[in-house]
Amino acid sequence: MSIILLDIGNVIVSVDFLRFCRGVLSDSTSDLQAVYRKYCGGELKMKLEQGIIPPLDYLCMIGRDSLTGNMSHGEIRERWQDVFSPMEGAEEGVEILSREHKLWIMSDTDPLHFAFLLTKYPLLRERDRYYLSYEHGFMKSSPEAFQHVLNDSGLAAHEFILIDDKPENCRAAESVGIKSIRFETWPETITALAAL
């Protein structure tokens, strides 16, 4: 029995940040891509996910931006959280994994997203451990994130397998001796796991 370090985004749920961008634009002439670059894919979002920027400060930044409409923090939060949809096969895939492996959740995420995901997706609840970037400060693209898991758990690298959609995260895990499977679909992932 291995311990699976299971990613959330684009493994358990798909993520559509353009939905958020469209929801907060000040008007139809505002620059959708500028909102995306600033809040959904850049340094500010990374700082939110590392726990450096508090969630309320992030919401305030978005609310004050001339690119976005005049909305309450609650409205911005709802739009920020409403970017997820279930991945095809995720429930069945997680059930199959749970039969033979321990599942620990490991995700680059922020408190607003994670709280929403726990409420909306029961299959994320009641896992043995959660390694979340906003709590420990490391992004999965850095070997330090995986070294933190090893140090915190007291377990050896060969006891873990990462399932993640991003190749850079898989490389970071492998750099500290943790095997990885690059997620594309659930059937392919289950097959790849059986072959390890």
Compute the distance between CA of residue 65 and CA of residue 78 in angstroms, rounded to an integer: 17
pLDDT tens digits along 4-59 = 999 999 999 999 999 999 999 987 666 889 999 999 998 999 999 999 999 999 99
**Which pairing describes strands 13-15 and 84-86: parallel, antiparallel, or unpaired?**
antiparallel
pLDDT attached to residue 70: 84
**Among 2.60.40, 1.10.3470, 1.10.150, 1.10.4160, what is the CATH number of 17-82?**
1.10.150
- For 80, half-sphere exposure in the C-beta direction (CA atoms, 13 angstrom radius) is 29
Domain with CATH 3.40.50.1000 in the chain: 3-14+86-195
Tell me what pLDDT residue 193 has.
94
Residue with tokens 């009641």: 126
Contact 44, 61 (CB under 8 A): yes
Instruction: Please give the distance of CA 148 from its chain centroid, rounded to a whole number.
Output: 17
Q: pTM for this structure?
A: 0.94
Which residues have CB under 8 Å from 45's CB, separation 6+? 39, 110
Give the residue range(s) of CATH 1.10.150 domains in the chain. 17-82
Residue type present at position 162: L
Give the model confidence (pLDDT) of 52-76 as tens digits. 999 999 999 999 998 888 899 999 9
The CATH code for residues 3-14+86-195 is: 3.40.50.1000
3-class SS of residue 126: coil
- pLDDT at position 150: 98
Across the chain, mean pLDDT equals 95
